[in-house]
Amino acid sequence: MPTSMGQKLSYSEEGPHFVVTRGGDHEINYIDQGDGFLLGKRYESKSTGITLLCTKPGKGKLLVGEEEMEMLTPKKLPSSD
């Protein structure tokens, strides 16, 4: 099922919840094994550009095809000196 911006994703009552911030035509699969997700962090699929915002932390992994979604790191801003 394709994802669209603003769509809410939850995989169980106990599991993580997400909001899609950039959608795409690919299906996202959840696996209940892995390190987990942090509240307020964004996760992205590099090959498809799909981006999710974690609204409830939990354990697991998200896959788009065979690719695991990775946590985005904040961009460095230039100093204002």
Count CB-CB contacts under 10 A for residue 49: 12
d(CA 17, CA 79): 34
Inter-residue contact 71 to 50 (CB < 8 Å): no
**What would the pLDDT profile of 5-36 be if each residue is shown by its tens digit?**
999 999 888 889 999 999 888 889 998 888 88
pTM for the structure as a whole? 0.85
**Mean pLDDT within 49-53:** 94
Inter-residue contact 5 to 22 (CB < 8 Å): yes
Residue 38: what pLDDT? Answer: 93
Inter-residue contact 2 to 25 (CB < 8 Å): yes
Predicted confidence (pLDDT) at residue 73 exceeds the cutoff of 80: yes
d(CA 19, CA 3): 10
